[in-house]
């Protein structure tokens, strides 16, 4: 096991898959000489050259269509865009085409491509470069959506995404790029659609993903000093969603809090809450399921205000205390 950053894990996963399969190619803006907008492909051009790395003009819709065509004739493209906000520009290709070709051709045409995009606030990049737009895609049948929080999960899930025979959206949070963690040096994969219990607990299930995982883990650590045992569930994949792990956790703890960075209204937490309420876990609840999400506003440029629009450790702790101590009517 080596301790590397999230960014290095992404680089290793792509490099290993490109060495193993010449049909795996990386497509995007500034991915070559510059090494990617955030450095994910640094050093790869020297090894793989222009045969497996295609630097593109600033035309997201154009190179997404290029990648879709390439995937249909045997290539396995990885598409990188500079900021996840620009996924609005490729949404036509992903939602109206890549997600539907296999269905519309009776299984004759597959689209094995990976779309990588950095999302999230906290870097001072302001309203058009700091959003979390995952729910724009979760309502589209045919897409798989992965959102890891640790270097170990990032590498294993990205390798699985590259080997998958359908379109996989691989979302990365910018503030996690420098996070470090232990990662095996050999080849390994993580199954898409499997959540992970990052911390065992008995009093409340905190269900989260991506950047909010370290926030929730720290909150759980501090709550333990108060005698509250919080279980932290990392979804890792939004689609398919591992409802089995969610339900088992909530049946054990009888309380649940769902946390994400994206705005609360219309956020993915609503889908998780519905999964709990429509399952046997509903009959085990000792309190209504709670949600924490971002504020209903564009991400501000001002760093002090920017910090206040997403859930923080104290928000998680306060909500958990209310669930445990003032849970409402016992179901």
Catalytic positions, written as ranges? 129
Total Cβ atoms within 10 A of residue 85: 20
Q: How far apart are alpha carbons 91 and 95 in whole angstroms? A: 6
**Residue that is written with structure tokens 């859930």 in the block:** 311
Neighbouring C-alpha atoms within 13 Å toward the C-beta of 311: 30
Rg (C-alpha) for the chain, rounded Å, is: 20
- Distance between terminal CA atoms of the chain? 46
DSSP bridge partners of 292: 259
Q: How far apart are alpha carbons 142 and 132 in whole angstroms? A: 20
Closest CA to 285 of 249, 251, 328, 257: 251
Closest CA to 257 of 291, 294, 209, 231: 291
CA 231, 206, 142, 132 dihedral sign is negative
Total Cβ atoms within 10 A of residue 185: 9
For residue 203, the SS3 value is coil
Q: Where in the chain does DSSP place strands (E)?
A: 2-5, 24-28, 53-55, 76-80, 114-119, 144-146, 168-173, 180-183, 196-199, 204-208, 230-234, 237-239, 256-263, 290-294
Closest CA to 183 of 148, 234, 232: 148
Look up residue 201 and give its two tokens.
């607990």
Angle between helices 243-253 and 269-277 (to 10 degrees): 70
Q: What is the DSSP string of 35-59?
A: --TTSTTTTHHHHHHHHHEEE--S-
């Amino acid at each position: 096991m080596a301790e590397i950053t999230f960014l290095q894990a992404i680089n290793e996963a792509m490099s290993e898959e490109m060495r193993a399969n010449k049909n795996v190619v990386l497509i995007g803006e500034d991915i070559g000489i510059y090494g990617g907008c955030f450095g994910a492909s640094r050093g790869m051009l020297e090894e793989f050259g222009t045969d497996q790395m295609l630097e593109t003009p600033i035309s997201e819709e154009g190179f997404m269509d290029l990648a879709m065509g390439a995937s249909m004739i045997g290539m396995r493209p990885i598409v990188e865009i500079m900021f996840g906000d620009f996924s609005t520009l490729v949404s036509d290709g992903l939602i109206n085409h890549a997600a539907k070709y296999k269905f519309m051709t009776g299984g004759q045409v597959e689209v094995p491509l990976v779309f990588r995009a950095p999302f999230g606030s906290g870097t001072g990049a302001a309203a058009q470069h700091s959003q979390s737009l995952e729910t724009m895609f979760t309502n589209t049948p045919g897409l798989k959506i992965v959102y890891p929080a640790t270097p170990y999960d990032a590498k294993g899930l990205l390798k699985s995404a590259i080997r998958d025979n359908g379109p996989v959206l691989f979302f990365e949070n910018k503030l996690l790029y420098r996070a470090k963690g232990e990662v095996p040096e050999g080849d390994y994969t993580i199954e898409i659609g499997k959540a992970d219990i990052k911390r065992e607990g008995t009093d409340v299930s905190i269900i989260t993903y991506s950047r909010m995982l370290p926030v929730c883990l720290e909150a759980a650590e501090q709550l333990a000093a108060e005698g509250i045992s919080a279980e932290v569930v990392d979804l890792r994949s939004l689609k398919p969603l591992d409802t089995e792990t969610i339900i088992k956790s909530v049946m054990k703890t009888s309380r649940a809090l769902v946390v994400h960075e994206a705005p609360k209204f219309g956020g993915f937490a609503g889908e998780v809450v519905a999964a709990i309420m429509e399952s046997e876990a509903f009959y085990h609840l000792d309190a209504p399921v709670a949600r924490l999400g971002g504020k209903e506003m564009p991400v501000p440029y001002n760093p002090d205000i920017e910090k206040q629009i997403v859930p923080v450790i104290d928000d998680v702790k306060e909500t958990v205390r209310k669930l445990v101590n003032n849970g409402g009517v016992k179901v």
